[in-house]
């Protein structure tokens, strides 16, 4: 993953994604670069429009975010209802003792 991050960093900085630049970024991160992985990534990204790839990848994530935010709210409501039920049951039990 660090090689992809390095490529994205170069892209964001407006630098060319090539073997030499990727190697410099990887080394700056304190990682020993793997020449084969660097060459493979540079070749794989040669015909890729990175801005377009980021845009298309971000859309499903952004669409899924509201749905993911709803799930915890629903769980909280269910937990609150369970707690209220337990409290009611406990109150009923005490009422029968003191009738």
What is the reported pLDDT for 95? 56
How far, in Å, CA of 17 to CA of 43, rounded?
10
pLDDT surpassing 70 at residue 97? no
Percentage of residues in the chain having pLDDT higher than 70: 71
Please say whether the structural domain 2-70 has been given the CATH code 1.10.10.1410.
Answer: yes
Residue 35: its pLDDT value, please?
95
Threshold 0.75, pTM exceeds: no
Q: What is the mean pLDDT of residues 87-97?
A: 62
Assign 58 a pLDDT band (cuts: 50, 70, 90): confident
Q: Is the pLDDT of residue 10 over 60?
A: yes
Domain ranges of the chain: 2-70
Q: Could you say which DSSP state residue 30 is in?
A: T
**Percentage of the chain surpassing pLDDT 90?**
47
Average pLDDT, the chain: 81
């Amino acid at each position: 993953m660090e090689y992809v991050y390095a490529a994205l960093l170069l892209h964001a900085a407006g630098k060319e994604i090539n073997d030499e630049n990727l190697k410099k970024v990887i080394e700056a991160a304190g990682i020993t670069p793997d020449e084969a992985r660097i060459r493979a990534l540079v070749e794989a990204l040669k015909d890729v429009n990175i801005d377009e790839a980021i845009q298309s990848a971000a859309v499903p994530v952004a669409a899924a975010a509201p749905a993911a935010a709803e799930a915890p709210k629903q769980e909280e409501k269910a937990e609150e209802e369970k707690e209220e039920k337990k409290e009611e049951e406990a109150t009923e039990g005490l009422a029968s003792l003191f009738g």
